[in-house]
A and B are shown apart, each in its own frame.
Chain A
Amino acid sequence: MLDVVRAPSHVLSASGLEVDPSDPVIVQLCADLVATMRISPGCVGLAAPQVGQAAQVFCVDVSGHPKARISHGLIVLANAEIVEASRNEKGREGCMSVPDLTGDVRRAAKITVVGQLPLSGERVLITTDAFEARALQHEIDHCNGMLFLDRVTGAHAVFPRKVYLEPRDPLAP
């Protein structure tokens, strides 16, 4: 498990470097990102810059989320990019790196993402919608040094967070 970096921090605005997905260091980073995501209540995605690594690696898992329609379960991608995007919609987002604020952000509700799987480096193509699409765009933004704050819809689109989830006990069943 890794410590999540909170804004303000320059690593969150650094453009992530392309990685070799078969590099053991990268494979370990992927495993650590997933473990850290699992232990954080409400966390549906985590990107390498959020744990202090300016690399293009992230994980997402929106399984069971009430706002998710298509869900691919656990997604871990390196060097991802969006190749198709359409149907912009406004939605409220939060981020572990900006724990006390939420914001309204317009994102594509229908996207296709290409990226590489860790270890094998296999290129995969993921087409998705709704909440999973939003989560993927949020994490790809992190890999490019952007926070949701950079994409809010207007001067009154940032809010103090109202709902905090208690940290999950790692020993609980």
Chain B
Amino acid sequence: MTSLAITVVGHDRPGIVAQAAEVLSGCGMNLEDSSMTLLRGHFAMTLICAGDADAAQVEAALQPLVNGSLDVTVREVPEEPDRPTLGSTYLVTVHGADRLGIVARLAAVIADAGGNITDLTTRLSGTLYVLLAEVDVPQSTDIEALQARLADVSAELGVDCTLRLLENDQL
């Protein structure tokens, strides 16, 4: 039983998900978790599948998808257990004039504080840059210090940053 991590990136058109899923099904690979979206108009998909085929077999089976406009990678990955969250989930929201270094510098602040980004979206809309990051923050982290450091770095970058505790999903 192997677990494969597969990425498909490139020119968007109807049918890519259908074709990729058909190939995986044909190889006996069960499509488990996946994430697909359009990034600047490009098709981008990452998925984990499991079954008895190996990376080479699946890569070969996906070749028809690679027609010069799509890139496919297939890698065997070990099974990862679902880890419990470290502490609380916070949302970092950033918006401002686009420039080099926004993600790099703010992600470094988060990492330095022991935070783990579990979900990230960035979007460039004209000259407006938006960054949204869900962060798993351990109980030991000094939240006020993290907030202050984010504020300092954001001010240097000329962007606005908010750090908010996300409500847990108590229904």
Contact A150 B162 (CB under 8 A): yes
In Å, the complex CA distance between A155 and B120 comes to 6
Given contacts A8-B96, A8-B128, A149-B130, is CB(A155)–CB(B91) below 8 Å? yes
Given contacts A154-B166, A155-B134, is CB(A98)–CB(B119) below 8 Å? no
Set A98, A147, A154: member contacting B132, Cβ < 8 A: A154
Contact B133 A155 (CB under 8 A): yes
Contact B130 A13 (CB under 8 A): no
Main SS at interface, chain B = strand
Q: Does A157 contact B (CB under 8 A)?
A: yes
Number of interface residues of B (CB under 8 A): 24
> Which of B93, B120, B126, B127 lies at the interface centre, i.e. has the most chain A CB atoms within 10 A of its CB?
B93
- Closest B residue to A88 using CB positions: B167
Set B96, B121, B127, B160: member contacting A156, Cβ < 8 A: B121
In the assembled complex, the CB of B7 is this many whole angstroms from the nearest CB of chain A, namely 19
Given contacts A8-B96, A13-B160, A150-B160, is CB(A156)–CB(B128) below 8 Å? no
Q: Does A152 contact B (CB under 8 A)?
A: yes
In Å, the complex CA distance between A149 and B129 comes to 11
Contact B126 A158 (CB under 8 A): no
Q: Does A109 contact B (CB under 8 A)?
A: no
Set B97, B121, B128, B159: member contacting A98, Cβ < 8 A: B128
Number of interface residues of A (CB under 8 A): 19
The interface residues of chain B lying within 8 Å CB-to-CB of A7 are 95-96, 128
Contact A149 B119 (CB under 8 A): no
Contact B132 A152 (CB under 8 A): yes
In the assembled complex, the CB of B58 is this many whole angstroms from the nearest CB of chain A, namely 28
Contact B93 A149 (CB under 8 A): yes
The interface bits of chain A over 10-52 (1 if a CB of B lies within 8 angstroms of the residue's CB, else 0) are: 0001000000000000000000000000000000000000000
In the assembled complex, the CB of B124 is this many whole angstroms from the nearest CB of chain A, namely 10
| A126-166 CB contacts (< 8 Å) to partner B | 147, 149-158, 160
In Å, the complex CA distance between A152 and B121 comes to 12
In Å, the complex CA distance between A153 and B130 comes to 14
Q: Does A101 contact B (CB under 8 A)?
A: yes
Contact B121 A155 (CB under 8 A): yes
Q: Does A100 contact B (CB under 8 A)?
A: yes
In the assembled complex, the CB of B101 is this many whole angstroms from the nearest CB of chain A, namely 15
| A70-128 CB contacts (< 8 Å) to partner B | 98, 100-101
The interface residues of chain A lying within 8 Å CB-to-CB of B120 are 155
Set A100, A147, A154: member contacting B95, Cβ < 8 A: A147
Q: Does B123 contact A (CB under 8 A)?
A: yes
The interface residues of chain A lying within 8 Å CB-to-CB of B125 are 98, 100-101, 160
What is B's interface to A at a CB cutoff of 8 Å?
91, 93, 95-98, 119-121, 123, 125-130, 132-134, 159-160, 162, 164, 166
What is A's interface to B at a CB cutoff of 8 Å?
6-8, 13, 98, 100-101, 147, 149-158, 160
13 A-B interface contacts by CB (under 8 A): A6-B126, A8-B95, A8-B97, A101-B130, A151-B93, A152-B93, A152-B132, A154-B134, A154-B166, A155-B120, A158-B121, A158-B123, A158-B130
